[in-house]
Amino acid sequence: MRRLFLIAGLMTAFGLAIVAASAFAPANFAGTWSLDKTKSQGLDPRMQNAESVTWTITQDGKQISIESKVTGGQPPAGGNGGGGGGGMGGGRGPAGPRVFTLDGKEVTAEAPGGNNTTKSAWSNEGKTLELSAIRTGSRDGNDFKFTTVEKLSLSGDGKVLTDVRHNEGPRGVNDSTLVFNKQ
């Protein structure tokens, strides 16, 4: 009888451990996502006028990479917009994918004309990922700083990705919410 209770107790503990581990697994944003402009707010002019905006996200246990593709639409006059463009405050977006480590450590890399510093942080339950990017540098003798903070989250069924974004730069502040549907 004692043996039966011991086995039943161990099986219960094992089952609870599996449930607890899966409940705290971080969200996986990997996939191809299409911008739903009707549900999005605060889009920069290029995104608003684009035929389509697609994100391709790859993610593993160590990093997340977001490749943005804007089809059609013209960049705003002057080349840089107020924000929603690619996470760096510009209407054109950065060259190549935006890559963030998922270990919470700050990473600084040299970029043409300046530096990019990125950092990520998971919410306690692992359902929201906060991405921070700071680009600093100098152009034509003028120092600049662009700061972007994004909060990525998935709908319960994993078919809708929401990016709540705050940009600050030389041209001011822009808040936007981008809503993507999984393709």
Per-residue pLDDT tens for 34-72? 999 999 999 999 999 999 999 999 999 999 999 999 999
pTM above 0.95, yes or no: no
In three-state secondary structure terms, 159 is: coil
Cα dihedral: 169, 109, 31, 177 (round 10): -10
DSSP 11: H
**Which residues lie across from 54 on neighbouring strands?**
34, 69
Per-residue pLDDT tens for 79-109? 444 344 444 333 344 467 999 999 999 999 9
CA dist 81 and 19 (Å) reads: 46
DSSP 41: B
By C-alpha distance, which of 155, 177, 158, 175 is closest to 166? 175
